[in-house]
Amino acid sequence: MKKQYVMGNGAIALGALSAGVNLVSGYPGTPSSEIIETISKTPHENVYLEWSVNEKVAMEVAAAASYSGARSMVTMKQMGLNVAGDPLMSMAYVGVKGGLVVVSADDPGPISSQTEQDTRRYASFARIPVFDPSSPEEAFEMVQDAFEYSEKYATPVLFRPTTRVCHAYASVTTKEEFSGRAVEGFVKDSSKWVIFPRLSFANHAKMEERNVRIAEDFSGYRFNTCEGSGSKAVITSGISYAYAKEYLKKHSDVRLIKLGTPYPFPERFVLESLEGVSEVLSFEELSPFLEENVLQLIGKYHLNLTVHGKLDGSVPHSGENSADSAAKIIGAFLGASDEATGIDVSDMPKLPARPPVLCAGCPHRASFYAVKKAMGKQKSYFCGDIGCYTLGNAKPLDMVDTCLCMGAGITMAQGFDHIDGEGTCFAFVGDSTFFASGITGVVNAVYNEADMVLCVLDNSTTAMTGHQPHPGTGRNMMGDIVEKVSIEKILEGIGLKKIITVDPLDLDASVAAVKECVALPGVKAIIFKSPCIAITKPKGKMKIDDKCIGCKKCIREIGCPALIMVDGKVTIDESLCTGCGLCSQICPVGAIGGACHE
């Protein structure tokens, strides 16, 4: 056996490998991305691994593997589950053969997401089980259980860690070698694998009947636990359990009920755990899922029980819980007065804000700046998308008017165009997002005769989530060098008449490209092509000479973190500068040079 210190996502990966997983697919998204990366770095045999172009595709690839008897896992962040919602909902009716575990990592806070949606709701919506680990150690064990339950009940199962479990590190002990299980292969049976209304009708009834059995099964599940005693109880799940447990080290006169399987709700277990309890606090993140289920139990069994939680204002509706909020909320529930162990920092001086910014030398900054220069005061719509380049919204660039969801920049630019024929409509999309969900939007634009300028910010990687490869990079997760899918050829194929590929770090050429496209009717595209600074060597360092008149135009116009003021002078922070040279093209007196290829 081998002891490994891994991130929660690594623990999920090793758990899946321990369960003999045969196929893992997914799309990167914080906080889920390291699951597939860990599998790729861990020596194994007979496991097929891929970054799919999006979550829907990943789910469907895994569906076929599971129908063939292979153990399969799909990974994504919570909003990815919306993209994969279509195959998931139908698969819930059809069922599976080989265990299929769908990992959807929730992000309370939200820390790196657009929504605070709750995957447990997806489970009850799709009528399939969900597992909710409270630590990396538990995630390692639980994901193996998830495969067992999936096969036992022939259903896909959801597995939903949250950010703090995904990104926490702990030790797990694993086998030395991993190999995928033997796979039986697909057995044709159109009465089973082809979804038709009649099949859905029959299976819907079976699912509901089965869920009652699963709830009973879960009532004896090893990670549903009740600790302590007393007439007050805290019911919790996931990372909130860890926070509650941390606080309750100091208090023993309370029950701590943890649900590792929130759906189907393990009714008998919860009823037994609440026996003799008069007041319960539901301490959970995102939505009041456990709380509503307990309220339902009270109605169903006429229990004399007071429930506190999100619905009575005891627990906030939004944001994440923490060890500190646990102390405050559970402390208030117990009427405890705990002595402060820390330093009083209520008189803290004002701290500098540090909003995330585009890195020094990021080619996206140059692309945005070129469009901004070319358009000047002309009426324009700047539709953004999901990726590092969402950060183009920050001042001084201020070049993102909208951001909704993956791929929406391209389609929203069309909506603005159809409502307002005057303004120029721009869509900014990254290369990975273009492959994930941009292409259909471009087809729509051509078909429906939109006037728009598509700006593909092609930095040859999926940067925001940690530089995963995609179809345009020529590498895949099986370690193969593959044919690069050309964005330019895709656009040509869709029928765009004007496609310009330009290096965004060449400001004049980029501004000219924008002006040329704006002057033409229809759908035009500019591919701003320059690699992410994190995957290339710096070109050198820029230098500011004594011609500098201190006008600070460079700082005001592009907001590069490497341009700083030191003792009243504009200075290059050499630890950050990559020598991209954008500032030198902005300086009105030619005081910035360099990038001497050290």
Partner 1 sequence: MNKDVLICGVGGQGTVLASKLIAAAAMAEGNTVHSAETIGMAQRGGPVTSHVRIGDEAYSPLIPHGNADVLIAFEPAEAVRNLGYLKKGGVVIVNSNPTKPVTESLQETGYDGRDMIDYLKKKCACVVVDGAGLCASFGSVKFLNVALLGVAYGTGRLGVSEESILKEIEARVPAKFIELNKSAFIKGREIGEGYEN
Write out the residues near partner 1 by the rule CB under 8 A.
5, 7, 30-31, 111-112, 135, 164-165, 167-171, 239, 242-243, 245-247, 249, 322-324, 326-327, 340-343, 345, 348-349, 351-359, 388, 391, 394-396, 464, 555-556, 559-561, 563-565, 575-576
Complex with partner 1: residue 46 or 112, whichever CB lies closer: 112
In the complex, least distance from residue 461 CB atom to partner 1, rounded to whole angstroms: 15
Across 140-173, b (16+ Cβ under 10 Å) vs e yields bbbbbbbbebbbebbbbbbbbbbbbbbbbebebe
E strand or H helix at 126 = helix 119-126
In the complex, least distance from residue 304 CB atom to partner 1, rounded to whole angstroms: 32
Complex with partner 1: residue 85 or 109, whichever CB lies closer: 109
Q: In what order do the strands lie in the sheet with 306-308?
A: 225-227, 255-258, 232-236, 279-283, 306-308
In the complex, least distance from residue 555 CB atom to partner 1, rounded to whole angstroms: 5
Angle between helices 85-94 and 55-67 (to 10 degrees): 20
Tell me the two tokens of residue 417. Answer: 């165009």
Q: Which residues contact 593 (CB under 8 A, 6 or more apart)?
A: 542, 543, 545, 584
Complex with partner 1: residue 427 or 464, whichever CB lies closer: 464
Complex with partner 1: residue 239 or 439, whichever CB lies closer: 239
Cα(127)–Cα(349) distance, integer angstroms: 51
E strand or H helix at 545 = none
In the complex, least distance from residue 384 CB atom to partner 1, rounded to whole angstroms: 14
In the complex, least distance from residue 225 CB atom to partner 1, rounded to whole angstroms: 13
Complex with partner 1: residue 517 or 554, whichever CB lies closer: 554
Q: Which residues contact 397 (CB under 8 A, 6 or more apart)?
A: 358, 365, 368, 369, 372, 558, 559
**Cβ distance 21 to 73 under 8 Å?**
yes
∠ CA(72), CA(78), CA(83), 5° rounding? 75
Tell me the two tokens of residue 25. Answer: 């697919």
Cα(203)–Cα(123) distance, integer angstroms: 17
Complex with partner 1: residue 413 or 554, whichever CB lies closer: 554
In the complex, least distance from residue 375 CB atom to partner 1, rounded to whole angstroms: 21
In the complex, least distance from residue 85 CB atom to partner 1, rounded to whole angstroms: 23
Exposed (0-12), middle (13-18) or buried (19+): which is 574, by Cβ within 10 Å?
Answer: exposed
Cα(416)–Cα(426) distance, integer angstroms: 10
Complex with partner 1: residue 194 or 351, whichever CB lies closer: 351
3-state secondary structure of 297: helix
Complex with partner 1: residue 71 or 255, whichever CB lies closer: 255
In the complex, least distance from residue 561 CB atom to partner 1, rounded to whole angstroms: 5
Complex with partner 1: residue 286 or 532, whichever CB lies closer: 532
Complex with partner 1: residue 36 or 502, whichever CB lies closer: 36
Which residue type occupies 339?
E
Complex with partner 1: residue 377 or 395, whichever CB lies closer: 395
Complex with partner 1: residue 411 or 468, whichever CB lies closer: 468
Q: Which residues contact 414 (CB under 8 A, 6 or more apart)?
A: 425, 441, 444, 445, 448, 450, 452
C-alpha closest to that of 367 among 582, 91, 78, 113: 582
Across 378-414, b (16+ Cβ under 10 Å) vs e yields eebbbbbbbbbbbbbbeeebebbbbbebbbbbbbbbb
In the complex, least distance from residue 556 CB atom to partner 1, rounded to whole angstroms: 7
In the complex, least distance from residue 238 CB atom to partner 1, rounded to whole angstroms: 12
3-state secondary structure of 459: coil
In the complex, least distance from residue 3 CB atom to partner 1, rounded to whole angstroms: 8
In the complex, least distance from residue 320 CB atom to partner 1, rounded to whole angstroms: 10
